[in-house]
């Protein structure tokens, strides 16, 4: 199996990437699993694609191996697209947990009525190869913001993001992979890698 470095410390995100890439004969490992120490690059991008590239390039340079990075977040229309690229740092430095971030968001949305709570999850995934070639894809899942968290699955904002009548937090892994922003982006990446690898 060919090893690709996954530039993340998030075990659940790594598991999603492993499920999607395994059929291509690709072993997804973190830098630490492959025996490397990876510093966190500063995410200075203003769009998801820029931050995904920054992270993938840093991982490739540190390991000399193909590297994949995802930058994803939640865009809420009533909040002007926030938290967007700042989703993982929303409310920092005071707020330090996923629960704290989504509760803060729910509090900001407390006066927004049903019908005006539209939002989307966006995932940009970038793969950088040692020869400098780069593949970047995007996936989007439209939904709405719930009035209260439901479900214990997933991570991040999953318990408050409704697709139909279920939150991401209520979906099992297979259901989430099928509809999620990251699942869509990773299927596009898998198709591009299958073409590249012949």
| Cα distance between residue 85 and residue 60, in whole Å | 22
Q: DSSP readout, 97-129?
A: SHHHHHHHHHHHTTTPPTTS-EEEEEEEEEEE-
Beta carbons of 160 and 175 less than 8 angstroms apart: no
Place of tokens 């540190």: 62
Residue 172 a catalytic site member:
no
β pairing state of 134-145 and 118-128: antiparallel
Beta carbons of 6 and 14 less than 8 angstroms apart: yes
Per the structure block, which two tokens stand in for 114? 């049903």
Beta carbons of 30 and 5 less than 8 angstroms apart: yes
Q: Which residues contact 124 (CB under 8 A, 6 or more apart)?
A: 47, 48, 49, 51, 52, 70, 71, 72, 136, 137, 138, 185
| Cα distance between residue 125 and residue 132, in whole Å | 16
Active-site choice (71, 131, 158, 172): 71
Catalytic residues: 71
């Amino acid at each position: 199996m060919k090893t690709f470095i996954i530039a993340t410390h998030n075990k659940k995100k790594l598991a999603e990437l492993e499920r999607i890439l395994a059929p291509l004969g690709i072993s997804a490992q973190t830098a630490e699993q492959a025996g490397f120490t990876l510093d966190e690059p500063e995410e200075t991008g203003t769009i998801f694609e820029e931050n995904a590239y920054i992270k993938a390039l840093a991982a490739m340079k540190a390991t000399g191996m193909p590297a994949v990075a995802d930058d994803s977040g939640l865009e809420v229309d009533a909040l002007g697209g926030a938290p967007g690229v700042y989703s993982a740092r929303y409310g920092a430095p005071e707020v330090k947990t996923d629960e704290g971030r989504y509760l803060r968001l729910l509090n900001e949305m407390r006066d927004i009525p049903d019908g005006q709570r539209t939002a989307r999850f966006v995932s940009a995934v970038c793969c950088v190869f040692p020869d400098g070639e780069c593949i970047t894809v995007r996936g989007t899942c439209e939904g709405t913001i719930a009035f209260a968290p439901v479900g214990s699955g997933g991570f991040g904002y999953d318990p408050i993001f409704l697709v139909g009548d279920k939150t991401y937090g209520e979906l099992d892994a297979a259901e989430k992979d099928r509809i999620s922003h990251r699942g869509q982006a990773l299927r596009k990446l898998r198709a591009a890698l299958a073409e590249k690898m012949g």
